[in-house]
Chains A and B, each alone.
With several copies, the nearest count.
Chain A
Amino acid sequence: MRTITEVSERIVETPSTVTLRFRYTPAASPGQFVMIWLPGDDELPMSLSYTGEPKGVTIKAMGATTRAALSVQKGDLVGIRGPYGNHFDLTPRRILLVGGGSGTAVLAPAAEAAARAGSTVVAALGATTAAELLFVDRARAFSNRVEVATDDGTQGHHGYVTDVSQRLLREDSFDAVWTCGPEIMMRKVIAASEARHVPVYCSMERQMKCALGMCDACALGPYHVCSDGPVFPAERLTPLPEFGRTKRDSSGRRVPL
């Protein structure tokens, strides 16, 4: 059962990233994802970047389909099913957000909800370049400490967002770290946090087909990212030989990340 719904708003977030908003009424929690079908093209897993009405996804052009998704216009029809998967634990506490690139898409609504529920959120957001930084303004609304990093130094720290998060972990104390981004980045976040005994929750991405915990496309060690995740506590990921190293392609073969 898909719901065919109209894109009610299209927001260009960065040169490579757009947000699509649409009416889709099933209840969703931050961290969950939907399968979004671009009729005539592929169907993709996308975290909800807005979990209230109208819901929204924020898509970064990575390959053919996500590039096609960028050309979806207001009024176009898309197919939505879900939401699927687990979500972030919103118990109030001190949370450090570490977002890399489009990874910030799933962290933003979670942080918003956590802040509303009484959490204190500090955000470290990274991108290749200033123009690609995502949701910095949105982060300023839920956090009074937002630090950014760019690979080319065009804004904030010149270097990796993990440099920033490492510093924040030293300077401040946190009850939890939430992160989403390239796995190599998340590995670094985990290493730094573990050193300080702060639990880390990673939002993972894998190829998805069924999103129902059936087809094995998203198999990650003993887990299915679609139904056991996408949010995993770090201690479940670090023992996995594939974490940060390999994924499976559409055929199920292991390939380097």
Chain B
Amino acid sequence: MADLRTTVAGISFRNPLWLASGIWGESGNSLKGAWDAGAGGVVTKSIGSEPRMGYPNPTIETYDNWGMLNAMGLPNPGIDEYPQEIGVARDAGATVIGSVFGADADEFARLGERMAATGVVALELNLSCPHAKGLGSEIGQDPDQVREVVSAVKRAVRVPVIAKLTPNHYDVPLLAEAAEKAGADAISAINTVRAMAIDARLRRPVLAHGSGGLSGPAIKPVGLACVWQIFERVKIPIVGMGGIETADDVIEYLLAGARAVQVGTAVAFEGVGVFRRLGEELTRRLDALHVVQVADLVGAAHGAPAAP
């Protein structure tokens, strides 16, 4: 039976299927729930310095079974309150990755330090929320600021640092290179794609915030392109995501260059049972393809162009 274990930045995960940030990650009980349901790692909601209410509703729009738009606005209880939530998840034995967002390198560093102190195995820096002015997205689109933020956090913590990138850029690997140069231990990609819903009859945007971020199956081709291109330009490991729903989706991300993946929207469409199903499906599929371990697939589609 195929071995689902994977290693990212020296940390070993029981399987490559992580809970994505912002899904089930505001409360410790939910992190624990996703872990108990079979996730290989659980990423917390992105946490800031202060409690943040997020945007008013509507915060969500769904598109049949192929996509979802959200502008939650980074609601989170703030770093003062949050450690107790992580405590619940850690007590349950979960491998927790702590996500943080901030307005500048200093804030990221301070938050990173406090998050690291909760005992998370790694930090994920949200450099990529497409709908929160001044909180990550502007930083995340500028290679210089990416470098500054990552450097500052690296100086402040000893746990591995994962830089989470936006797809809303003409050259995503450029951002990955900046993160790598600054010492990032891994890249995760992608956050949601900038998007919007308008109601024809009401003549207004649907989301209270106006624009939001697209997630789900519709962005899988976008995520794959980003991971592929990042893999060609950096050496540090990649955690891929965007639209994962099936074992083949996972395999495609691995082939593009990811060492692990995150699952977000599928939790809404299917429930947290998605982790168990994906794990089982992945084992069966790897066995059928005679793949012994996840690592054997990482980046394996590179160098095999579709035409001569």
Let me know if A43 is at the binding interface, CB within 8 A.
yes
Complex Cα gap A42–B55 (Å):
10
Total A-B pairs in contact (CB under 8 Å)? 125
CB-CB < 8 A to B53: which residues of A?
Answer: 249-251
CB–CB A209/B27 < 8 A: no
In the assembled complex, the Cα of A251 lies from the Cα of B46 at a distance in Å of 12
Pick from B52, B54, B206: contact of A209, CB under 8 Å:
B54
- A190 CB, nearest partner CB in chain B, Å: 21
Give the secondary structure class of A's interface. Answer: loop
Are B57 and A251 in contact, CB atoms less than 8 angstroms apart? no
Identify which of residues 266-296 in chain B touch chain A, using a CB-to-CB cut-off of 8 Å. Answer: 267-269, 271-272
Let me know if A4 and B72 touch, CB within 8 A. no
In the assembled complex, A239 has its CB within 8 A of some CB on chain B: no
**What is the total number of residues of chain B having a CB less than 8 Å from a CB of chain A?**
49
- Interface-forming stretch among B18-26, B125-133, B230-238? B18-26
Least CB distance from A227 to B in Å reads 7
Tell me, in angstroms, the Cα distance from A149 to B265 when the chains sit together. Answer: 45
| Interface of chain B: mostly helix, strand, loop or mixed | loop
Q: Does A44 contact B (CB under 8 A)?
A: yes
Given contacts A40-B307, A216-B30, contact A250 B265 (CB under 8 A): no
Residues of chain A from 243 to 257 with CB closer than 8 A to chain B in the complex = 248-254
Beta-carbon contact of B306 and A40 below 8 Å:
yes
Q: Are B267 and A253 in contact (CB under 8 A)?
A: no
Instruction: Indicate if the CB atoms of B51 and A253 lie closer than 8 Å.
Output: yes
Contact call A77/B201, Cβ cutoff below 8 A: yes
Which residues of chain A come closer than 8 Å to B23, judged between CB atoms?
A: 214-216
B interface, CB within 8 angstroms of A: 22-27, 29-30, 32-33, 45, 51-54, 56-64, 70, 72, 75-78, 81, 199, 201-202, 204, 206, 208, 264-265, 267-269, 271-272, 304-308
Sample (16) of A-B pairs whose CB atoms are under 8 Å apart: A4-B201, A4-B202, A39-B306, A40-B308, A79-B206, A210-B60, A210-B268, A212-B268, A214-B265, A216-B27, A216-B30, A227-B271, A249-B53, A251-B53, A252-B45, A252-B75
